[in-house]
């Protein structure tokens, strides 16, 4: 049987970078030093007005294909994780397949997940490869959350940034990914929700009592997300270790969705981990939703922070409410 292995990853960040100094000039009343100390975010990238999920996805994928000399005809399937698609119809992955010049017998699929999306996508790719449907899967994350956020919305504008990543997953006789575990609690769907962007009008939405101060279509209950993370992720970690027959001490590094510094530090304490095992890298591009874990992996690879024979645990959690975890054995670093 073949299994999926994580190969090279490429990252695309939009041209415009908005720093905390830029925000201080625009909003001197925002107490940004205090905010940044909590979020860990000091810069974010903003997609251009005419730049959308498919554009960023193509740029990330082109970078991957060219830098790593991957033949386009070798791609059997495209997975695209996005919550800001170009259109409700058609599937954005179909647009990406065409613009990349991939084979017409290549599968293409969007899936709508945010903070847990990278772990879900790895599982989907692993299933495609294990079943024999594909040998090479191009897994893309592309998010333009900033288009949902009003310029005056302090709580959201200081956290979220735009980004896209492309990951190559290939067939291997050695299992390096798994086990996987997932969880869902739709009762908390309104903790992070974009109103008025689908078919359902806001007047008929989950909780129309939400009255946002700004014109952002995105609403976030940060306190509820913090509570959710600290209550759901520790049991997930314990179950994942039990399923793998491993212990906490055998995991070398925990690669978590980069939500906010405060949330990650709180979760680190709740799990009883040393901070050295939980890298936090929000300062350069903020919370990039499904792109945050592959960006973290890329940064660590470039900095020598991932080594052969390491065991990593990947954890995604947030909007949905949705969460997922996976073990990644013998972390491979193509930049070694």
Specify whether 98 is catalytic.
no
In contact, 5 and 170? CB cutoff 8 Å: yes
Cis (ω within 30 of 0) for the bond into 236? no
Compute CA distances 247 → 36, 53, 81, 187, whole Å: 34, 39, 31, 32
Instruction: State the burial class of residue 215 (Cβ atoms within 10 Å of its Cβ: 0-12, 13-18, 19+).
Output: exposed
Specify whether 257 is catalytic.
yes
Catalytic residue among 36, 81, 106, 115: 115
Catalytic residue among 36, 81, 106, 257: 257
Per DSSP, the three-state class of 334 is: coil
Q: Quick one: tokens of 104?
A: 């017409």
Catalytic residue among 36, 81, 285, 287: 287
Q: How far apart are CA 116 and CA 219, in angstroms?
A: 18
Instruction: For residue 250, count other CB atoms closer than 10 A to its CB.
Output: 12
The region that residue 245 occupies, defined by phi over 0 for left and psi between -120 and 50 for alpha, beta otherwise, is: left
Specify whether 17 is catalytic.
no
Q: Which residues are marked as active site?
A: 115, 257, 287
């Amino acid at each position: 049987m073949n299994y999926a292995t994580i190969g090279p990853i490429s990252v695309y960040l939009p041209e415009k970078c908005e720093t905390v100094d830029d925000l201080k000039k625009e909003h001197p009343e925002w107490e940004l030093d205090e905010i940044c100390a909590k979020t860990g975010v000091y810069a974010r990238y903003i997609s251009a007005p005419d730049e959308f999920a498919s554009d960023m996805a193509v740029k990330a994928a082109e970078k991957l294909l060219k830098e790593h000399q991957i033949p386009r005809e070798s791609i059997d399937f495209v997975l695209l994780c996005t919550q800001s698609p170009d259109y409700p119809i058609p599937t954005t992955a179909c647009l990406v397949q065409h613009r990349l010049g991939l084979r017409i017998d290549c599968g293409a699929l969007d899936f709508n997940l945010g903070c847990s999306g990278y772990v879900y996508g790895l599982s989907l790719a692993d299933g495609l490869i294990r079943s024999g449907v594909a040998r090479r899967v191009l897994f893309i994350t592309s998010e333009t959350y900033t288009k949902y956020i009003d310029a005056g919305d302090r709580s959201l504008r200081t956290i979220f940034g735009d980004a896209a990543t492309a990951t190559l997953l290939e067939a291997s006789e050695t299992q390096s990914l798994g086990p996987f575990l997932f969880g869902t609690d739709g009762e908390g769907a309104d903790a992070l929700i974009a109103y008025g962007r689908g078919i359902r009008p806001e007047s008929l939405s989950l909780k129309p009592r939400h009255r946002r101060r700004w014109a952002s279509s995105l609403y976030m209950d940060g306190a509820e997300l913090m509570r959710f993370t600290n209550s759901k992720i520790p049991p997930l970690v314990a179950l994942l270790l039990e399923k793998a027959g491993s212990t906490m001490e055998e995991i070398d590094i925990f690669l978590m969705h980069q939500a906010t510094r405060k949330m990650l530090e709180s979760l680190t304490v709740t799990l009883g981990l040393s901070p050295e095992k939980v890298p936090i890298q929000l300062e350069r591009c903020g919370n990039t939703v499904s792109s945050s874990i592959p960006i973290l992996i890329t940064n660590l690879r470039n900095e020598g922070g991932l080594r052969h024979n390491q065991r990593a645990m990947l954890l995604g959690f947030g909007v949905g409410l949705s969460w997922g975890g996976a073990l990644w054995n013998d972390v491979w670093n193509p930049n070694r």
